[in-house]
Chains A and B, each alone.
Chain A
């Protein structure tokens, strides 16, 4: 049996993850160039348009950062759970729950002043996401029910809840039949920071920086990594796994909920069914590229946002939408695959099975 297999690197490459991901993206751009040539485009022009749209102007930067906000928060939510070996596949649903709670607060306090209203709405959205995640947290901690399944299934449930709300009790009577809630009070919109970015960028940057620092430097973060290494090791070190699972999964949901609140107040300005817009699922990719390290999420989220903005821009400039989508997918795919080589190295497979097993 000659061939290759992947072996985990005992010592991670120095700066290897960044290098590997960058190489992967570059290779994807080269592959994409062939595709563009085949469809009659000039790859150089297309790539220039993409880079320009994402980073070439204050407007471009603001759009990129605006997209990085939900991506980064959802990525952080997944990464916080992932650093102790838990999979939160439910960030999408938790974003929706956050938006629902935020919208509910706005319905209750329509006349509050802007600062108070926004603050309470965001607190509400944190609670909403956290509460939704509390269900899989309890079932995992108490009964050992696999959180991948429960968080994933809850997405389906909450999406029906929001659909019911915007089609039923919270439906805007003036929306000409569109399934959407009435607009939020004007003072509930997040103030603009620059260009198309609102102060959600600052909130997300604060949360990401805070967690990045806290997870890598605190006792809490250390316990998280121990538990992520092995449950047995964590128990041996005297850590209460149940409590850890409960708090970490709930926290993960709360962070995703905050993303929902910021989307609601900053971008959609009313509750709609598609408020989560796939951010929660994209967050899984963001977290995976950041190797589940909260400190790496922000950079990945910005890069991810830029790819999306660039992809949109070339569609506007006349590149067929399908090609633009393939390009986006290629770049992410290249980054993900290359990321594997930051963690693993290819090894020649030797013949018989006897080399793998030690004597008994």
Chain B
């Protein structure tokens, strides 16, 4: 399905930004498959899409970070051939990344002028010029303050100033509101409008429908690396059609796994009540979440990435502190205890970050396999290496993990084998409930199938599963119940048999 409304497609080659038929392939992935993007000068243009839709890749092509395999990039009718971000900047394209690139101990003015000022710098003069530039676009800042004591919103304004200082005509803002408080986001909306009035093109990457309709004029939607809606007027956008564009039509009904033993909802194995979590910047990432998982129940958590799923999982596992709320695992209140006691109470966690959190890449297969059980392998202070190897062999055989040798570092294992090892280890403790975060991400078809089979087997034997996934089909296939998270809150809940891609997708984009 492709919609082209709003701006006339005939103006291809005219003023503004024109990306046509962009292809970009990475080993094993096609990130852009004939994507296009047309942005007029003086407009604020939203780029929307699920995670993995190819937004970031397309923006990196425009900003000179990647060279496209095929396709053309045109600015004001002139074909461009960027070899580096510096080339793109020279042509007037600047990107404000999600991770700010500022030097904390430099002042605002120093950060802005860094790398683009004459050899001799008059500090006062630069500060004066930066202040004037900031005033012109309504960016509130203090030119002589050092960046380390600025809020995230202020730091973002410094990044925008850097782009304006280099007279960027095209500004790409990559999920700019993700780090902002609601007030700061509104402020950003005003700044963006001022810059557009000045004749610049603003590209605004976002997941949030509300922001897009408030701040933007036109929108492009990507799915699977291709453009499915080009330059449609945001007035034509509503939650229903945006969800359909982003997640696709509900052409095939996901095959739900048949269950032999239905879940027993009367005996919950995990109860989370009123959980509130702050991120490292003090912004609420989980905002009053309550949920309960029955014996043998699979509860799926849907949501666009970054809406609080990860801190929710970490907080339930005890890896991050929650401000408020309680966690009960199989009738034991574990709210006040650390990860170790939560494991002992019957909680297992398959974290999203396999190699950074769940497994230690430099340690051997055996050493990784005993992360939960080492305290009881061998009596006294020493580890019984033979017993550890035996335990590991059993795990490796049972979950068919292909390893070179038990004493080799696991860094060389493939993603599927790593995940089998990790999941197997987490199940070996006979948990009452498992949190599985993105358990099949990045795996091949067989790997996905193997992990899903294991999870369903566990549910059949009475283990409760909290399945956090960005793969809607996986959630629809496995879940007895699906909850949808938006901005740290659960905004919708669907029984498994009633959930559809359209319904869940609509709730995910904030239009429940």
A-side interface residues toward B, CB under 8 Å? 10-12, 214, 217-220, 222, 225-226, 229-230, 232-233, 235-240, 352-354, 357-360
Contact = CB atoms under 8 A, between A and B. Distances in A.
A236 B383 contact: no
Contacts of B381: 214, 218-220
Contact of A236 (B55, B349, B361): B349
B367 A225 contact: yes
B360 A230 contact: yes
25 contacts: A10-B411, A11-B404, A214-B381, A217-B385, A218-B381, A219-B383, A222-B383, A225-B360, A226-B360, A226-B371, A229-B362, A230-B357, A233-B356, A233-B358, A236-B317, A236-B349, A236-B351, A237-B339, A237-B371, A237-B372, A238-B340, A352-B67, A354-B67, A359-B54, A359-B57
A218 B24 contact: no
Contacts of A353: 65-66
Contacts of B359: 233
A239 B343 CA distance: 12
B360 A222 contact: no
B26 A11 contact: no
Contacts of A359: 24, 26, 29-31, 52, 54, 57
Contacts of B339: 235-238
Nearest to B349: A236
A354 B31 CA distance: 12
A9 to B, nearest CB: 9
Contacts of A220: 381
B319 A222 contact: no
A218 B382 CA distance: 4
B77 to A, nearest CB: 26
A326 B309 CA distance: 59
Task: Name the residue among B339, B357, B360, B361 with the largest chain A CB count within 10 angstroms.
Answer: B360
Contacts of A235: 319, 339
Given A230-B357, A236-B349, A354-B66, 17 more contacts: A11-B408, A217-B382, A217-B385, A219-B381, A219-B383, A222-B367, A230-B360, A232-B319, A232-B357, A236-B317, A237-B339, A237-B372, A354-B67, A357-B26, A359-B26, A359-B29, A360-B52
A193 B353 CA distance: 54
B356 A232 contact: yes
Contacts of A229: 360-363
B382 A12 contact: no
A353 B30 CA distance: 17
A230 B60 CA distance: 30
Contacts of A219: 374-375, 378, 381-383
B338 interface: yes
Given A219-B374, A236-B339, A236-B358, A360 B57 contact: yes
Interface string B409-453: 101100000000000000000000000000000000000000000
A344 to B, nearest CB: 13
A225 B363 CA distance: 8
B81 to A, nearest CB: 13
A218 B361 contact: no
Interface of B: 24, 26, 29-31, 52, 54-57, 60, 65-67, 317, 319, 338-340, 343, 349, 351, 353, 356-363, 367, 370-372, 374-375, 378, 381-383, 385, 404, 408-409, 411-412
Contacts of B385: 217
Contacts of B412: 10-11
A238 B362 CA distance: 19
A225 B364 CA distance: 11
Nearest to A359: B31
A236 B422 CA distance: 12
A218 B388 CA distance: 12
A230 B411 CA distance: 14
Task: Name the residue among B67, B319, B349, B383 with the largest chain A CB count within 10 angstroms.
Answer: B383
A87 to B, nearest CB: 18
A8 B367 CA distance: 20
Contacts of B317: 236
B42 to A, nearest CB: 28
**Closest A-B pairs by Cβ, 10 of them:** A238-B340, A359-B31, A360-B56, A229-B360, A359-B29, A10-B412, A359-B26, A10-B411, A238-B339, A232-B357
Nearest to B341: A238
A126 B170 CA distance: 64
A222 B376 CA distance: 13
A273 B466 CA distance: 63
A12 B404 CA distance: 13
Contacts of A10: 409, 411-412
A237 B29 CA distance: 33
A83 to B, nearest CB: 11
Contacts of B363: 225-226, 229
Contacts of A214: 381
Given A218-B382, A358-B29, A230 B356 contact: yes
A357 B57 CA distance: 10
Contacts of B56: 360
Contacts of B370: 222
Contacts of A358: 26, 29
B360 A12 contact: no
B367 A233 contact: no
Task: Name the residue among A222, A352, A360 with the largest chain B CB count within 10 angstroms.
Answer: A360
A321 B360 CA distance: 47
A237 B340 CA distance: 7
Nearest to A228: B362
A11 B343 contact: no
A212 to B, nearest CB: 14
A233 B356 CA distance: 7
Contacts of B378: 219
Contacts of B55: 360
A236 B319 contact: yes
A238 B382 contact: no
B384 to A, nearest CB: 9
A113 to B, nearest CB: 34
B470 to A, nearest CB: 13
A240 B367 contact: no
A277 to B, nearest CB: 34
Contacts of B67: 352, 354
Contact of A11 (B30, B52, B349, B409): B409
A238 B356 contact: no
A77 to B, nearest CB: 21
Contacts of B29: 358-359
A217 to B, nearest CB: 5
Nearest to B371: A237
A76 to B, nearest CB: 19
A218 B362 CA distance: 18
A146 B342 CA distance: 30
B343 A218 contact: no
Contact of B357 (A11, A222, A233): A233
